[in-house]
Amino acid sequence: MTKLSVNINKIATLRNSRGGDTPNVVQFAKDVQRFGSEGITIHPRPDERHIRYQDAYDLKPVVFTEYNIEGNPIPKFMDMVLELQPTQVTLVPDSIDTLTSNAGWDTIKNNRFLAEIITECKRNGIRTSIFVDPVLEQIEGAKATGTDRIELYTEAFAHQYNLGNKNGIKPYTECAELANKIGLGVNAGHDLSLDNIQFFKQNIPDLLEVSIGHALVAESLYLGIENVINMYKNKLK
């Protein structure tokens, strides 16, 4: 069964909009795990416009499932990751001013840089994953860095699926098959939702984990967070 990791950035966005501590991200993390989430994902950015670096420390004692921290491996981010030692670090090539993640790594061009980061993480017992576009050469490049997993950037799939083009899944299936063949674990995330998650899961062999935040939180406004988590888990079986 594919694990569901809930990205709680949007809860922090809502909290920050009023300058207080409601909703409380630590309590939300406790609740979604109690409701059945198998992981918590956060993606702190340098401007801390949603999840703050302090949140990462506050969450550490309460995440009893898998703790996944995403981000661009700038020095401040890596200092935090190495101190907290989460279950997994997902390396994402965000620019400082990006609204949301919008591209995977060029794993060939950035091989040496990524390999150094990954070596340090693995030395500290942290599982590593690289955010990549569904391009076969980039999967091979990821393997050469020494990473444990890749995370397939699924925005293009979600867009094509919404247009009714189910052939948009093909590059993802091919990349997952190659990853499995060469010994890389496969995660996925970005714009996955209750509408498309089951189709995606059915076409991605040995999908280990999906990280979902924006859609899951939006759907929960109408359906309730506990209900939505269980709906995802049923679709991921």
* Whether residue 190 lies in the annotated active site: yes
CB atoms inside a 10 Å sphere around CB 141: 22
Which residues touch 180 (CB under 8 Å, ≥6 apart)?
A: 186, 205, 206
Give the span between the Cα atoms of 122 and 85, in whole angstroms: 10
Distance, in Å, from the CA atom of 37 to the CA atom of 29, rounded to the nearest integer, reads 9
User: Which residue out of 43, 50, 66, 219 is catalytically annotated?
Assistant: 43
Q: Which residue has the tokens 């997952």?
A: 176
CB 175 within 8 A of CB 136: yes
C-alpha–C-alpha distance, residues 217 and 34, integer Å: 16
**Could you say which of 38, 50, 66, 70 is catalytic?**
70
Both tokens of residue 178?
């190659």
- Nearest-angstrom CA–CA distance, 84 and 56: 8
DSSP assignment of 136-175 equals HHHHHHHHHHT-SEEEEE-HHHHHHHHTT-GGGGHHHHHH
What distance in Å separates the CA atoms of residue 218 and residue 170, rounded to the nearest whole number?
28
* The one catalytic residue among 38, 50, 151, 190: 190
- List the one residue out of 95, 96, 26 whose CA is nearest residue 54: 26
Enumerate the active-site residues: 43, 70, 190
